[in-house]
Structure formats: C-alpha cells, structure tokens
C-alpha cells in the first residue's frame, strides 16, 4: 500500500483536475511488487446524466492499442513465424518498390519497408503531413472514416494495401516519425495467422489473460459502461465529443471491418492491468506463460539508432527517452520532464489512456480518462510524480 499522505495527494490532485474542468472523470491504479497498492476513481463518465466513473468503466484506448499490437508481433517472432527484416511486401504486395518523397520529388526507396521499421516508427508511413506521403495518408484516413458506417467499410487489409500504394515520407530506417505503422502490423498479423486481427488477439492474449472487457467493439450489454469523451469548450468548461477518428467507430456499437492496430481497442483499467502485469512479469500472468522473458526484454528495449533518435528527440515532452516496439523507454531520467527510472516503458492514447511499467521499481501505473487530444496530460504527469517520489 502507499502511505496515507501519498494517497491523499493522489486523490486531491485528481479531484482538483476534475473541479477545474480539465477532465470529467478518471481512474488510476498503482501496482507495486505484483500487488495492487492503490486504486481510485472520481468524477463522471457521463456529464449529461450524472453517471459516475466506476471500476468497470470502459475506455477507448486509442494509441495505447499499439503496445498490444507490438506484443502480438513479438509472439509471432518468438515462434519463428516472422523475421523482423521481412519486407512488408512479403505479406502485402503493394509495399513493393515504394517511392520516397525527397526534396519535393518522388524517388525510388533504397529498400522496402520491413517489420522492424514498422515496430520502431522508422517506416516513413505517417498519419498526415505537408508532403505527398502525409497527404496520401490523410486522404486515406478521411476515406476510411467516410466509409465507416456505410455498406462498404474499409477492412484492415484493404487499408494496409491502399497505404502501400502511396509514397513514404523518408527512406526506410533513415528517420523516426510517429504514424500509422501499427495499423500495417495488424494487417501483417492477419496475413501470417490466417485469422482476423481481433480473433488473433482474443485467442493469444485476451482469453489467456482473462481480459473479457477488451475488444474492438462492445456488445450491447457492455455499452452502458463506456465512458463518454469530452473536449474543452473554449470557455473553461467541457463539452461532449462524439466524432469518429482514425477509423474508430466512437460508439463502439458494431463489429468494425477495420480493426486498428494503432488505435482500435477499448478496455477497462483492470483488463489493461492484466496486460501490463504480464509484461512486467516477463511474459507470465497468474501462472500462465504467454511469452518468454527474452522476448519481453527485446519488446521493452530502446531500439533507435543515433540517426533515428534525432527524429524522436523532436518530441519535447519525451526528453530523456528513446523508442522501440511502439513504446517510449526512459533512457536518462535526469533529462526527463517528470520523475522516473531508467528502463521504464509504456505509452498513452489520443483520449488520455496511459500506462507505464518500471521494472527497476516493480511498478505499474495506469490512468484511464476520455479527453479529446489528451495524450499524456499535465494531470497524468502530476499523478505519476506523486507515485514515483514516494518510492523508497
């Protein structure tokens, strides 16, 4: 357990954020030495009806889906089913002989993008941007969103295949830039496993970990637990956000054709904790071994070269970190903008879902919230600073 002062600080800091209309409500969990040291929720899941956040509230993970996707890729790796230097074109032929944007012109890439590039965001595949590659991605996501609720929605494999027809923003492996790489990984998992991405995750991860509330959509009996999403209203308060974004059906009320490896999952804090604890326990949870320790070590290690790191260093709130396998990894705590430990890893989501694992401290912190454009917020850093500063 955390001491009484730390608990009071955590509760008070969260309450202040809610009272200041920064967020509507949230859940936080701290797991230390394999045991729950603290759990607390406060605020509302639905401001209009007054429905409170509860322990079983369901949250859209958005980019916190990415470490799950990387873990699934690592499972295929340790079984010998893929090689990280496999070109994507081996599984999705449109990625063969791609062009690269170079000083405003299109030139031949020096090599094909491979799985390793996708895992480390060194592929040149973006979400959007001013160049031809960014424009292609942006237009593809716009079409994906426009077809979401139609009779002809875009599938995971169609999305990946269409992405491969566009140019890359930079030569594979030559830089780092955040983008849609994890969505392509989901399509590769489909191609290798012969099953839908969601089926693979359920069979290999969610069912063995007893993650019964984690999926790409919600059955009718679960939808009343889905927390609503809020955004700043421009006048110091919050207003409802309900838009579809990056191919995710916001209401989560139907089986999606597009199962996004970069953003598609919804989950509870308890379900997500089972996943983070499996990673922290070197691939084992509740006596079930899903992955081997060496695979987990590889998954949670910084992977960028010095050249690639220069691209990542542009992310100013992640000073003192590197990147690898769809996660941030703390490499220099003295340079970071918050208290932490070397080797600490994790990620966050567009609506604010967040986790960090610190193997050195045998610690996992999870924070669940639904706020548009949140990522890692000030409140998230405040809460983790309280926890880390209390460690002896």
Average pLDDT over residues 288-299: 98
Distance CA 355, CA 246 (A): 21
Question: Burial of 39 by CB count in 10 Å (0-12 exposed, 13-18 middle, 19+ buried)?
Answer: middle
Q: What is the pLDDT of residues 349-363, one digit of tens each?
A: 999 999 999 999 999
Within this chain, domains 4-64+200-390 and 73-195 share the same CATH topology: yes
CATH code for the domain defined by 4-64+200-390: 3.40.710.10
Question: Dihedrals φ, ψ of 128, to 5°?
Answer: -165, 180
Which residue stretches of 51-154 are H helix? Answer: 66-78, 115-120, 132-147
Per-residue confidence band for 33, with pLDDT thresholds at 50, 70 and 90: very high
Which pLDDT score is estimated for 142? 98
CATH classification of 73-195 is 3.40.710.10, yes or no? yes
Per-residue pLDDT at 381 exceeds 90: yes
3-state secondary structure of 138: helix
Task: Give the domain ranges of the chain.
Answer: 4-64+200-390, 73-195
Average pLDDT over residues 62-81: 98
Distance CA 364, CA 346 (A): 9
Q: What is the pLDDT of residues 147-178, one digit of tens each?
A: 999 999 999 999 999 999 999 999 999 999 99
Q: What is the pLDDT of residues 208-237, one digit of tens each?
A: 999 999 999 999 999 999 999 999 999 999
Q: What is the pLDDT of residues 89-113, one digit of tens each?
A: 999 999 999 999 999 899 999 999 9
Per-residue pLDDT at 61 exceeds 90: yes
Which pLDDT score is estimated for 30? 98
């Amino acid at each position: 357990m955390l001491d009484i002062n730390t608990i009071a600080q955590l509760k008070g800091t969260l309450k202040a954020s809610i009272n200041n209309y920064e967020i509507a409500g949230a859940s936080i969990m701290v797991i230390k030495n394999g045991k729950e040291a603290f759990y607390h929720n406060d605020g509302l899941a639905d401001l209009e009806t007054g429905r409170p956040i509860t322990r079983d509230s369901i949250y859209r993970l958005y980019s916190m889906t990415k470490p799950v996707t990387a873990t699934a890729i690592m499972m295929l790796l340790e079984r010998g089913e893929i090689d990280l230097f496999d070109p994507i074109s081996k599984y999705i032929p449109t990625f063969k002989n791609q062009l690269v944007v170079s000083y405003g012109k299109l030139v031949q890439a020096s090599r094909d993008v491979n799985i390793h590039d996708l895992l480390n965001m060194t592929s040149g595949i973006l979400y959007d941007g001013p160049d031809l590659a960014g424009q292609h991605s942006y237009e593809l996501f716009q079409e994906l969103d426009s077809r979401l609720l139609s009779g002809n929605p875009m599938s995971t494999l169609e999305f990946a295949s269409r992405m491969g027809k566009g140019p890359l923003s930079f030569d594979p492996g030559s830089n780092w830039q955040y983008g849609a790489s994890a969505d392509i990984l989901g399509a590769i998992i489909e191609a290798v496993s012969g099953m839908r991405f969601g089926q693979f995750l359920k069979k290999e991860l969610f069912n063995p970990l007893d993650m019964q509330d984690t999926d790409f959509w919600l059955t009718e009996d679960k939808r009343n637990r889905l927390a609503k999403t809020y955004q700043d209203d421009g006048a110091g308060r919050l207003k409802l956000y309900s838009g579809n974004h990056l191919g995710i059906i916001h209401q989560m009320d139907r089986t999606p054709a597009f199962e996004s490896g970069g953003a598609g999952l919804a989950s509870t804090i308890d379900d997500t904790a089972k996943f983070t604890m499996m990673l922290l326990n070197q691939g084992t949870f509740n006596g079930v071994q899903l992955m081997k320790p060496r695979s987990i070590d590889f998954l949670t290690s910084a992977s960028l070269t010095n050249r690639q790191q220069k691209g990542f260093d542009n992310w100013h709130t992640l000073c003192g970190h590197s990147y690898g396998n769809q996660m941030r990894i703390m490499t220099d705590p003295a340079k970071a903008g918050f208290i932490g430990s070397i080797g600490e890893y994790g990620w966050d989501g567009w609506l604010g879902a967040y986790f960090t694992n610190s193997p050195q401290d045998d610690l996992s912190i999870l924070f669940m919230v639904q706020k548009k454009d949140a990522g890692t917020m000030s409140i998230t850093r405040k809460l983790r600073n309280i926890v880390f500063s209390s460690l002896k």
